[in-house]
Amino acid sequence: MRVVVVDDDEDVREATVMLLEVLGHEASGHGVPEEGLRAAAGADVVLQDLHIPGMMIEEQLQRMGALPHPPGVVLFSASIDVHSLHRIPGAAAVLPKPFTTEALEAALARAAAGRS
Amino acid sequence: MEVVRLLPDVLFRCHKAADGKIYWTLNEGGLAEAFGLTTEQIRGKSLDELFPGGASEPVRAHFEAAFQGSTETFVNEMDGRYFKHFPQPVFGPDGQVEEVVGYITDVTELVQAEQELARVNKDLEAFAYRVSHDLRTPLAAVATLGDVLASQEGLDASGQEAARRLLKATERMDALINDVLAFSRAGVRPQREGTDLAVLAKDIRGELRLQSDHQIHLDAPDTLVVDADPALMRIVMANLLGNSGKYARPGHDVHVWLREENGTIVVEDDGIGFGDQDPGAAFHVFTRMRNAAGQEGCGIGLSTVQRIIEGHGGTIEASERPGGGACFRFTVGP
User: What is the per-residue pLDDT across B97-106, written as a single tens digit (0 to 9) for each?
Assistant: 999 999 999 9
* Chain A nearest C-alpha distance from B308 (Å): 19
pLDDT band, residue B292 (cuts 50/70/90): low
**pLDDT for position B56:** 79
**Lowest-pLDDT range of B4-8, B90-94, B267-271:** B4-8
User: What is the per-residue pLDDT across B214-230, written as a single tens digit (0 to 9) for each?
Assistant: 789 999 999 999 999 99
**pLDDT for position B293:** 53
**Lowest-pLDDT range of A77-86, B51-60, B240-249:** A77-86
**Is the CB of A19 less than 8 angstroms away from the CB of B136?**
no
What average pLDDT does this structure show over B140-148?
94
User: What is the per-residue pLDDT across B10-28, written as a single tens digit (0 to 9) for each?
Assistant: 899 999 988 888 998 888 8
Q: In the sheet that A72-77 helps form, which strands lie side by side, from edge to edge? A: A26-30, A2-6, A45-49, A72-77, A93-96
pLDDT band, residue B290 (cuts 50/70/90): low
* Chain A nearest C-alpha distance from B154 (Å): 13
**Is the CB of A18 less than 8 angstroms away from the CB of B181?**
no
- Closest residue on chain A to B181 (Cα): A80
pLDDT > 70 fraction of chain B, expressed in percent and rounded: 93
- Closest residue on chain B to A11 (Cα): B141
**Is the CB of A11 less than 8 angstroms away from the CB of B141?**
yes
User: What is the per-residue pLDDT across B191-213, written as a single tens digit (0 to 9) for each?
Assistant: 899 999 999 999 888 877 766 66
Closest CA to B133 of A27, A77, A53: A77
Which chain B residues touch A24 with a CB distance below 8 Å? Answer: none
What average pLDDT does this structure show over B314-333?
94
Interface pTM, i.e. ipTM: 0.86
**pLDDT for position B210:** 62
- In whole angstroms, how large is the CA radius of gyration of chain A? 12
**pLDDT for position B279:** 86
Which chain B residues touch A51 with a CB distance below 8 Å? Answer: 133
Write a three-state SS string for chain A: CEEEEECCCHHHHHHHHHHHHHCCCEEEEECCHHHHHHHHCCCCEEEEECCCCCCCHHHHHHHHHCCCCCCEEEEEECCCCHHHHHHCCCCCEEEECCCCHHHHHHHHHHHHHCCC
**Is the CB of A79 less than 8 angstroms away from the CB of B133?**
yes
**Is the CB of A80 less than 8 angstroms away from the CB of B144?**
no
CB B24 within 8 A of CB B101: no
* pLDDT tops 70 at residue B291: no
Which chain A residues touch B152 with a CB distance below 8 Å? Answer: 22
**Listed ranges A62-76, B115-129, B180-194, B284-298; the one with the highest mean pLDDT:** A62-76
**Is the CB of A19 less than 8 angstroms away from the CB of B148?**
yes
**Is the CB of B129 less than 8 angstroms away from the CB of A80?**
yes
Which chain B residues touch A97 with a CB distance below 8 Å? Answer: 136-137, 139-140
Q: How many residue contacts between A and B have a Cβ separation below 8 Å? A: 66
pTM: 0.65
What average pLDDT does this structure show over A75-95?
77
